[in-house]
Amino acid sequence: MRLVRCNLQEHGSAILRILNDAIVSSTALYDYEPRPLSSMTDWFEAKRASAFPVWGALGDDNELLGFASYGAFRVRPAYKYTVEHSVYVDSVARGRGVGTRLMRRLIDSAVEQEKHVLVGGIDAGNVGSLKFHEALGFEPAGVVKQAGFKFGRWLDLAFYQLILPTPRVPVDG
């Protein structure tokens, strides 16, 4: 497995396939409908415009096994050191360390970009994802009860955070 920076042309359709699988088969994403391919153009453009990384894990056959990225946590300027991350692994590649490799690289990117807090919004019923985050040093930061409704039931949204030693010199404004 090797990690690469993802781009729309080479990885957009594979990322979309992984996202759409999560939408239709899990509560990892609180969307109802699969996204169209055209949505990937805006998604990648938003990542590029804010210099947010998109890391992918490629298998020996160069197939995308998973990806990880982050984006703005909130739009107010004082949140500039906090980002909300996502990590998704193809169902055929789970349990092989793909998510861990991606998250470690994403954490390194956040440090390199002088971010201070990584936040994950995780369906509280997704015990595997909660344990995964805890194993990487994330701590619970609260639960919004009944934040979503999908598959005929209310979903609680757990927030997990990892505080980083950066930025070296935080500034207002």
Each residue's pLDDT tens digit, 40-92: 999 999 999 999 999 999 999 999 999 999 999 999 999 999 999 999 999 99
Query: Where are the chain's structural domains?
Result: 2-163
Task: Give 116-134 pLDDT, tens digit per residue.
Answer: 999 999 999 999 999 999 9
Which class in CATH covers the domain with range 2-163? alpha beta
pTM of the full structure: 0.94
Mean pLDDT, residues 129-151 taken together:
98
In the structure, what pLDDT confidence band is assigned to residue 170 with cuts at 50, 70 and 90?
A: very high
Mutual angle of helices 39-49 and 8-25, in 10-degree steps: 110
Q: Which long-range contacts (CB under 8 A, 24 or more apart) does 129-137 make?
A: 129/28, 130/158, 130/160, 132/99, 132/100, 132/103, 133/160, 133/162, 134/160, 135/100, 136/100, 136/103, 136/104, 136/107, 136/162, 137/162
CB 117 within 8 A of CB 161: yes
What does the mean pLDDT of the chain come to? Answer: 97
Mean pLDDT, residues 94-103 taken together:
95
